Amino acid sequence: MSISASMVKELRERTGAGMMECKKALVETGGNIDEAIESLRMSGQAKAVKKSGRIAAEGRIEIAEEGNKALLLEVNSETDFVAKDENFTAFAVAVAQTALSSGIADVAELNSATLADGRTVETARTELVAKVGENIAVRRLVEVESAGAIGCYTHGARIGAVVALEGGDAELARDIAMHVAATKPTCIDEDGVPAELLESERRIFTEQAAESGKPADIVEKMVTGRIAKFLKEITLVGQPFVKDPDITVGKLLSKADAKVTAMVRFEVGEGIEKKQENFAEEVMKQIKDNASA
């Protein structure tokens, strides 16, 4: 049968697939729209599986808020170009909202959750892979709940932070979240510093101080001073506040009779080993992959 332009248009609107892919699917299914949709879906799943091994270290950080809860989500793509695509952004926003409203805290479970448009997260992801031609991955999420104020801050779409306070107000919570995004503290205070990290730094400082040839008691004082400086640098409460370096975050909180009860910071791609490739070779590789997809 003849495949009309209106049929192709309808299929494109319902699936988001490319014009040629829609026409091909309609030809193969004899103009049956529902069968063509299923065919495109299966094709999208196949492409998603094929691209799943490719490193996705770009992407965006999305924050969803509702009442006294906030959710921080990282969704990855292979390139910054796709990370800025409106379809990718819409997917990340939808997934974050679904995760927050459902209370799901596990990525594997989230993949089976239903988005507002009726698709599962995994179905929407595979369809997006087929549309943008890159591997897409929902990497991680954390929900923060607070009995008091909660503050959220994103720097562009690459860094996001959420802070929960006991005491204080929403403005202070957001200021602290902004500080966390900017300075990347390891933990809230000294109590949260991992023992192995502290021991490692102490050993390094001791070895460095011993090389000075000074007496043992002086070496101990040098080490104690360096450890104190180190703790101020890595703990939230010990750091100079980014908006007013003359005061530490700890003193700022004390003045407001507040304390931080939770702190989460995500940065796109942190911890992912990026593969370094020749640019020209990568372009040719993508062309070949798309041609065979």
Which of 253, 271, 251, 273 is closest to 263 using CA atoms? 253
Question: d(Cα 290, Cα 293) in Å, to the nearest integer?
Answer: 5
In which order are the strands placed within the sheet that holds 150-155? 150-155, 159-166, 259-267
> Where does 54-145 sit in CATH, by number?
3.30.479.20
pLDDT of residue 48: 47
- Within the chain, all domains assigned CATH 1.10.8.10 are found at 5-51
pLDDT in tens, the chain (293 residues): 678 888 888 877 776 666 777 788 888 888 888 887 777 666 654 444 455 567 788 999 999 999 999 999 999 999 999 999 999 999 999 999 999 999 999 999 999 999 999 999 999 998 898 888 888 999 999 999 999 999 999 999 999 999 999 999 999 999 999 999 999 999 999 999 988 988 888 888 888 888 888 888 887 888 888 988 999 999 999 999 999 999 999 999 999 999 999 999 999 999 887 655 555 665 656 556 655 55
pLDDT of residue 207: 85
Residues contacting 110, CB < 8 A, separation 6+: 95, 98, 99, 102, 104, 121, 138, 141
| CATH class of segment(s) 5-51 | mainly alpha
> By the 8 A CB rule, do 267 and 156 touch?
no
Residue 167 token pair: 């005491």
Q: Where are the alpha helices (DSSP H) in the chain?
A: 5-15, 19-28, 33-51, 80-83, 86-102, 107-110, 121-132, 170-183, 195-210, 216-234, 249-255, 279-292
- Within the chain, all domains assigned CATH 3.30.479.20 are found at 54-145
Question: d(Cα 124, Cα 10) in Å, to the nearest integer?
Answer: 18
pTM (predicted TM-score): 0.74
pLDDT of residue 276: 55
